[in-house]
Each structure stands twice: as C-alpha cells, then as structure tokens.
Amino acid sequence: MNVILFGPPGSGKGTQSQFIVERYAIPQISTGDMLRSAVKAKTPLGIIAKSIMDAGGLVSDDIVLGLVKDRVSQTDCASGFILDGFPRTIPQADALISLLDGIGKKIDFVISLEVDSKELICRLSGRRTCPVCGKGYHVIYNKPVQEGVCDSCSAALVQRDDDSELTVINRLNVYEEQTSSLKSYFNKSGVLYSVPGSGPINEIQAKISSILDSGVASDHS
Ligand code: AP5
Ligand code: MG
C-alpha cells in the first residue's frame, strides 16, 4: 500500500504518519526529515538546503527527487510506504509517477488533511520535537507526560528552526502557491481522499484507517 499524506505545514502529516507506520508496518518517507538530517550533518546538500528551509521556501526538485528515488527502491518499501511532504510541486508529482511506473508500483491513496490557516499557525508555534527519535508534540494539544521531555527516549524537546512566525507565514504562502494545486492533480487520478484534520488526533486516525482499510472513502473528493 503506497500512501501520500498531503496537507499544508502543520496539518498533522508527521503526527498521523507515526500511527500509520505502527498500524500498517510500512515506513514513513519524510523529505523534510531527510533534509533536516542533511542540515544537521552539514553535508553539501544540507548546506544548500539550510538557508532555503530557514526562509520557508522549497528546496529544488532535483535535490528532493534524488532523495526519494534512492529511498523508495530500498527493501523495506517492498510492501508499501508513506510519503510525507512529497511531492510538493507538479514536476515532483510527475517524476514520482514515472519513477513508480518504472518499478511496477503506483500510488494507492492520497490522504489530504484539511485544516484552516489560523489553526495551522497555532499548531506550528506550539510544536516541539524530539531531536533523538523525531517524535512530535504540542505544548497544549499533544503534551508529553513530563513537560519538555520526550516520552519515548527522555531527550529534551526542541523547537524547529522554521517554526518562527515569519517563516511559518511564508511556508503557508508557498504551500498555497506551489503545492495546493496537487489536490486536483491527484483527484483526476481518483486517488484523493479529503479528511478533516481538526479535532482529536485519534479521531483523525480512525478516519484515515477507515479509508486505508476499506479503500472506500466516506468523503471521496
Ligand atoms: P516538512 O518537514 O515536510 O514540513 P511541512 O510540510 O511544513 O510540515 P510540518 O512538518 O511543519 O507539519 P506536519 O504536517 O508534519 O504537522 P505535524 O504532524 O508536525 O518540510 C520542511 C521544509 O523542508 C520545507 O519548508 C521545505 O523547505 C523543505 N522540503 C521538504 N520537502 C520538500 C519537497 N518535497 N520539496 C521541496 N522542499 C521540501 O503537526 C504540527 C503540530 O500540530 C504538532 O505540534 C502536533 O502535535 C500538532 N497536531 C497534530 N495534529 C493535531 C490535531 N489534530 N489537533 C491539534 N494539534 C495537532
Ligand atoms: Mg512534518
């Protein structure tokens, strides 16, 4: 089962990916996480990506495609994967479809998480992440048991560099301008499923499960 989790910054792609990984035993492929690892390791790619990410822009299609191409061919993706944060442009989507076509695969579901922009800003400003295991939290909506400490590995939680207010606003604009049109792109292929992304995290999980389990959406856009 090959899934794209789609939605604007802060819509819950990472949060819901964690649950799909556990329930369906397929890996998450997050281009944002891969780029942040490259930035942290100060690789040549990471050095190029850092200033773009800090400003809330998109890293070039070529760089991102290179990352995804290697990843989907790995053996743990044989029975499926979740793409989180990719594709983000029409050329990325075209390249993905042709890449999968070449290895006899296709996208089965594009789950689009719908959340209004006021809520997105509030979510991103309160987000905290574990620098060790990558688990995500929110200071109000998704608190760790002990404030500021990861439940899984006890590391001190951090705030992402691109979660400052100005950068968040730019990321939301970039999403509207360059990424949101992918919804109609995937709708044309009949694989787009819109899910309201507001409300309790477990209720959103249940809606996603019902789509992935049955293949029949209650709200097929
Ligand atoms: P990326 O890491 O992909 O970030 P993003 O798309 O901006 O999305 P986020 O990770 O910020 O949000 P999310 O949807 O995962 O939400 P989360 O679950 O954390 O990309 C970062 C950058 O990398 C890009 O700006 C770009 O520069 C570059 N990049 C990446 N991919 C690229 C590509 N393909 N092409 C070019 N450049 C690329 O949730 C957010 C918060 O809300 C958390 O605190 C969470 O606890 C909370 N929350 C989640 N669900 C709920 C809920 N139901 N109710 C209340 N709070 C909730
Ligand atoms: Mg994310």
pLDDT band at 70; cut points 50, 70, 90: confident
Express each pLDDT in 118-145 by its tens digit: 999 999 999 999 999 888 999 999 999 9
Confidence (pTM): 0.94
Express each pLDDT in 147-184 by its tens digit: 999 999 999 999 999 998 899 999 999 999 999 999 99
Residue 218 in this model has a pLDDT that exceeds 50: no
Ligand with minimal distance to 19 CA: 1
Average of per-residue pLDDT across 99-110: 94
The pLDDT mean for the chain works out to 93
Atom of ligand 1 nearest to the CA of 171: 25
Average of per-residue pLDDT across 48-77: 94
Residues in contact with ligand 1 (CB, 6 Å cut-off): 7, 9-15, 31-32, 35, 52-53, 56-59, 64, 85-86, 88, 92, 123-124, 126-127, 136-138, 141-142, 162, 171, 199, 201, 204
Q: What is the DSSP string of the chain?
A: -EEEEE-STTSSHHHHHHHHHHHH---EEEHHHHHHHHHHTT-HHHHHHHHHHHHT-PPPHHHHHHHHHHHHTSGGGTT-EEEES---SHHHHHHHHHHHHHTT----EEEEEE--HHHHHHHHHTEEE-TTT--EEETTTB--SSTTB-TTT-PBPB--GGGSHHHHHHHHHHIIIIITTHHHHHHHTT-EEEEE--S-HHHHHHHHHHHHHHS--TTB-
Atom of ligand 1 nearest to the CA of 49: 27
Express each pLDDT in 181-196 by its tens digit: 999 999 999 999 999 9
Average of per-residue pLDDT across 3-17: 97
Distance 9 CA to ligand 1 centre (A): 4
Q: What is the pLDDT of residue 219?
A: 38
Distance 110 CA to ligand 1 centre (A): 16
- In order of start, what are the domains of the chain with their CATH numbers? 2-26+79-115+169-214 (3.40.50.300)
Q: What is the pLDDT of residue 215?
A: 61
